[in-house]
Amino acid sequence: MFLMNSAVSEPISSWHPSAREFFENQDSDASINITEYPIIPSMFLSQNQSSAIHVVSSALSSESSDIIVPPEKSSLGRILVRYNMSEVSALAITSIEGVKIIEEIDSEMVPGLALCNVSGITQEEAIDKLSDMPGILYAEPDYIWTIDKIPDDPQFWRQWGMQNTGQTYREGVSPGTSGSDGKLTGAWDISTDSGDVKVAVLDTGIDYTHPDLVSNMWTGQNGEHGYDVINQDYEPMDDNGHGTHCGGIIGAVGNNGIGTTGVVWKTKLVAIKAINELGGAYTSDIIKGIEYSSRIGADIVSCSFGGPEYSQAMFDAISGSSALFVCAAGNNGQNNDIVAYYPSSYSLSNIIGVASTTAYDSLLSTSNFGTRVHLAAPGDQIYSTSLPRESGDRYMYMNGTSQASAMVAGMAALMYEKNNNLTPQEIRNLLIKYSDPVSSLSGKIMANGRVNLTAVLYSFGEEEILNLHPGWNYISVPRPLAKGSDTASIFAGVSSGGHSVLTYVNPDGWKTIRSTDTISIMTGYWIYSTKEDTIPLTYQSSSAPVTKEVTSGWNTFGVPVKEPVKAKDALSQVQHVWKYAVGFNATLQQYETPIMNEDQGKQDDNRMLTPKQGYWLYCADSGVISG
């Protein structure tokens, strides 16, 4: 790992003062000349690697999805009847003229449940007569429920809900508000794999042939990827697109070089098709889907649907399940404390109701809210997997609490993987406790803020992991390392392809790091890896304050914090001398757009600095940063 000793010539002398002009006029997809800009140690780049370094730019145009129109209320002739099996038989139901049993639903969670058809009398009359019969626990309409919709992955820049640095995440829209995401990138340093956790997507099915989903689909004993309740077969192929979109938010394969990434990079998605191509589903079909999820041992059920009708049968099915149900709060822009929205509004310990936020840290105008809504998560203009479109593209934007609840379902999967002893209520409580306070959400939802997965996973107190990606990585260590684990020897196991660990010291230039050199915090290091790799970081149990001296010109830098922090806050102690901070995205092997601190200390750029990422920091004078 520590083989090369030759000094690297100064690569940055021509960057200033041209850098500001270059980046302020960045309209093209032009490649960056690495002899002019301090991208990565240029002497170690191959020609192919060099040509791969470029500024991220808009590549695709996507259309947002229209709201699915639900089917006509054809449930008027269908009712669900639950009877006490120890008192009466199903035949008692047929004693009411005009009521015929269509199906006895074989449900362990809701025993004695029958689906009936009504003819010759009204649905209301049938329910009244059945409710008066001895041994009948309840009768109700078979309600129709509707869907809620209004990392080297090349389109990751569009996924503001996972990382919002203030980027323009879609053509023709204003840049988002930095930090208004679900805090995924810090969490991914801890875990990207949900192991054996099964996430059932109770929806319109999933396109399980999608290249960004196929390897994350659960596979049963007979090769199936789930179940189609409507057609009663094991081919739950999506014919609407909603389930595929939600499935991608939860678990599109991460770091595979195509499309997008899910909250969980590696997981087990179970496709349960209970909602038809028009976006509607009967209560009876939803219950069958819940029953299937229980049989195959799903840990989480993502429920991106709902309605205002209270179904006792659905309540019984959910309460009888040990799984966590993550439910959309609804897209009516209403207060669920006044007009309930089910299943999100059921008072059950294994339900999480989720509202939707925008890229500007506000509640989406169409999102339902209320103190019965537990959490808020990004759900506006969310880019994810889709059915094939006319253009051949298989990704699109969609809006709503469906997207927000899918994101939370993915978060819950990573939480379960770190601690499989957690109960659904404990998952909910942790997500509420560690949500970021957001003034616009105060009093609107139970958490009074937006979800923060990084904070939740940090609360588990696990050993921290530094993730490396193929190619050059620009990293930093956010806290002092424990004695014995604080030298560059921690990188000895990295498959480096013969490259050294490097840092840059102003004004001396590049420095090769030896295995015995101490790793300093608030310092950027360049590490080359030939493959995906991880480095465990063991920190001191307690540490004294540390300082970083910066000088006029280019300095390496890293933030001494656990969570992303605004650059203007992290660098406030050198407010009048720093000019711009520039990071490097190792996943994409791409240089990030500089975070600017305008002249005279004006700090209008609210983008974030990420822990464990190295930054180039240009200063006009000397200063000291403490942390």
Whole-number Å distance between alpha carbons of 81 and 423: 31
Burial tier of 475 (Cβ tally within 10 Å: 0-12, 13-18, 19+): buried
Tell me if residue 239 is catalytic. Answer: no
Place of tokens 């689906």: 115
Taking phi first (over 0 means left), then psi (-120 to 50 degrees means alpha), and beta for anything else, what does residue 525 get? beta
Please, what's the b/e burial string for 177-206 (b: 16 or more CB within 10 A of its CB; e: otherwise)? bbbbbbbbbbbbbbbbebeebbbbbbbbbb
Whole-number Å distance between alpha carbons of 578 and 601: 8
Catalytic residue, chosen from 203, 212, 239, 380, is 203
Catalytic residue, chosen from 180, 345, 356, 402, is 402
Catalytic residue, chosen from 242, 245, 374, 499, is 242
How many residues make up the chain in this entry?
627
Please, which residues bridge with residue 562 across strands? none
3-state secondary structure 377-424: EECCCEEEECCCCCCCCCEEEECCHHHHHHHHHHHHHHHHHHCCCCCH
User: Which residue type, as a one-letter code, is found at position 627?
Assistant: G
Whole-number Å distance between alpha carbons of 115 and 589: 56
Output the CA–CA distances (angstroms, integers) from residue 449 to 34, 162, 177, 348, 363, in the order listed.
42, 16, 15, 21, 10
Q: Indicate the DSSP class of residue 9.
A: P
CA atoms within 13 A on the CB side of 178: 17
Tokens coding 24? 């302020």
Tell me if residue 285 is catalytic. Answer: no
Tokens coding 538? 């063991």
What is the C-alpha end-to-end distance of the chain, expressed in Å? 30
Residues 75, 79, 81, CA angle at the centre, nearest 5°? 160
Residue 573's nearest CA partner among 627, 617, 612, 520 is 627
Rg, the chain, Cα only: 27
Whole-number Å distance between alpha carbons of 103 and 416: 36
Tokens coding 279? 């976006």
Chain Cα centroid distance, residue 552: 39
Tell me if residue 436 is catalytic. Answer: no
Chain Cα centroid distance, residue 53: 26
Q: Which residues are catalytic?
A: 203, 242, 402
